[in-house]
Amino acid sequence: MSSVFTLLLARETRLLFRRPAELANPLVFFAIVIALFPLAVGPETQLLQTISPGLVWVAALLAVLLSLDGLFRSDFEDGSLEQWVVSPHPLALLVLAKVLAHWAFSGLALVLLAPLLGLMLGLPIGTIPVLLISLLLGTPILSLLGAVGAALTVGLKRGGLLLALLILPLYIPVLILGSGALQAALQGLPAVGHLLWLASLTALAVTLTPFAIAAGLKISVGE
Amino acid sequence: MNFSSFADFIAMGNHGVYVWTSYGISLAVLILNVVLPVLARRRYLQDEARRLRREESK
Amino acid sequence: MNWTWFHKLGSPKWFYEISGRWLPWLAWAAVLLVSVGVIWGLAFAPEDYQQGNSFRIIYIHVPAAFLAQSIYVMLALAGVVGLVWKMKLADVALQQAAPIGAWMTFIALLTGAVWGKPTWGAWWVWDARLTSMLILLFLYFGIIALGQAISNRDSASKACAVLAIVGVVNIPIIKYSVEWWNTLHQPATFKVTEKPAMPVEMWLPLLVMVIGFYCFFTVVLLMRMRLEVLRRESRASWVKNEVKALVGNNS
């Protein structure tokens, strides 16, 4: 069972490294969105600092969403998804490996890029650990929930916008908790409560969403 | 009766605009929700009637 | 326990017959309850000591909000029934209830906004309850959009069922996080519907309205479902006979 998991992880990693541009696109998008805001609202450090928690989180949320649009597409087109559905291994486990591999490269890269952009927005150094931890806990939830939407829309011609419509409302708790943690840190308050809540949501998402993703894929493949 | 006159009832103590717009729009939405399925049913039956007639004349 | 009634529920023909018998009664109940509730609430209920007459909006705002939330739960339940027992009628119910739920959410939002103007002095306040309602509206839009985007009827209803179940698991999380966000960002605002003790003359018409709205929802849902059953089962002989009879009456 676990060997299938690691095999799949290795396969996904190889596939992702063959198309580095696809990995880089969400990151560039993330950076551009954040760069747009000082241009839109003005360069005052004070103002940017106040809005930066929300800004970083909204940008991260959109970047993850964008990267998820194609999550299952190539597997759907070349028929690997059908193989997965009929394989003797539980589909939920397979999709968990797939989403984790995806997160390990796109989500993790986002987390690593975030402190740099945070500093550009004027976040004090002391808040950077909270930013890192909150993104580290939050982005897996974003990937997993988004994968549910990606699984449901994979067979559709123009699923991208629909995916955003389905999934963005479900992202709201993560957005509130993540930016709340950062805001608390910015005001010098303890952010542990927010982070613990985020962690429990992560645990919930890791245990429950694979089943929903598997159900969604079965429906999309069966069509 | 909580109001002394009909004019009082309409005015709702300066809040008439808010009360009556919300009741009016809500009523319109409720009616819309009933009318749409009724119209859809009628259209469907008309289509079916036309189809049946065509099949009979064949 | 005898489960035959449950399996009977799965039969479109049985549903069509029984719902046809209930529909007039439910429709009269809905009309009666809503009109009694509206007149009672508008003309006879005493005015609120703080908000004056603008509080009368409660008699549509609260029933619509109740209904909007319970319809979403109903969607998820129908989704579970459809996925687990492969009951076709559950799929029909899911797809037909979603637009009604969206309309009810719209009424709740609109009346909430109109009510906010005299109470808070602004059309829109990012109040926890209104914000959750707005998110609920987006969730409804998602289900409706997904149902329309998938052309295959079977997979469309299954996909909507999965989405509704995921949504219903998320709703409490969303609700609590929004409430929490609200308490963090705003000083405690004046709560509109949470009063320590609402006098009987105030809540009794509200109760009538809530029941009336539920009846109304059932009526509209049954009407929509009956039409959809006729469409989906158009090959079955009982549907052909029924349509012929209905067409004969019309022309």
Q: Do C246 and B37 touch (CB under 8 A)?
A: no
Q: Do A169 and C173 touch (CB under 8 A)?
A: no
Structure tokens given for C28? 């009269």
Quick one: angle between helices C88-120 and B16-57, nearest 10? 160
Of B22, B32, B34, the CB nearest to C60: B22
Q: What pLDDT was estimated at residue C5? A: 67
Of C43, C57, C227, the CB nearest to B41: C227
C-alpha distance from C136 to closest chain A C-alpha (Å) = 8
When divided into structural domains, chain B yields a total of: 1
In a domain, B1, yes or no: no
Confidence (pTM): 0.89
Predicted ipTM of the assembly = 0.87
Q: Do B23 and C219 touch (CB under 8 A)?
A: no
pLDDT over 70 at C1, yes or no: no
Band (C2; pLDDT cuts 50, 70, 90): low
pLDDT over 60 at C250, yes or no: no
C-alpha dihedral sign at C226, C230, C236, C241: positive
Asked if C19 is an interface residue toward chain B (Cβ–Cβ < 8 A), one would say: no
How does DSSP classify residue C123?
S
**HSE (side-chain half, CA atoms, 13 Å) at B55:** 7
Q: Do C247 and B29 touch (CB under 8 A)?
A: no
* Mean pLDDT, chain A, whole residue set: 88
Distance set, CA A28 to CA A11, A12, A66, A196, C58 (Å): 25, 22, 11, 30, 49
In whole angstroms, what is the distance from residue A214 CA to residue A152 CA? 10
For an interface test with B, the pick among C114, C115, C241 (most B C-beta atoms closer than 10 Å) comes out as: C114
Q: What pLDDT was estimated at residue C187? A: 47
Q: How far is CA C198 from the centre of its chain?
A: 25
**Structural domain span for residue B38:** 6-57
Backbone angles phi, psi at C51, to 5 degrees: -100, -5
When pLDDT is averaged across residues C208-224 and rounded to a whole number, the result is 94
Q: What pLDDT was estimated at residue C197? A: 61
pLDDT digits 0-9 by tens, C135-167: 999 999 999 999 988 888 888 888 999 999 999
> Which residues of chain B have a CB within 8 Å of the CB of C209?
none
> Which residues of chain B have a CB within 8 Å of the CB of C46?
2
pLDDT digits 0-9 by tens, A108-139: 889 999 999 988 888 888 889 999 999 999 99
> Which residues of chain C have a CB within 8 Å of the CB of A50?
none
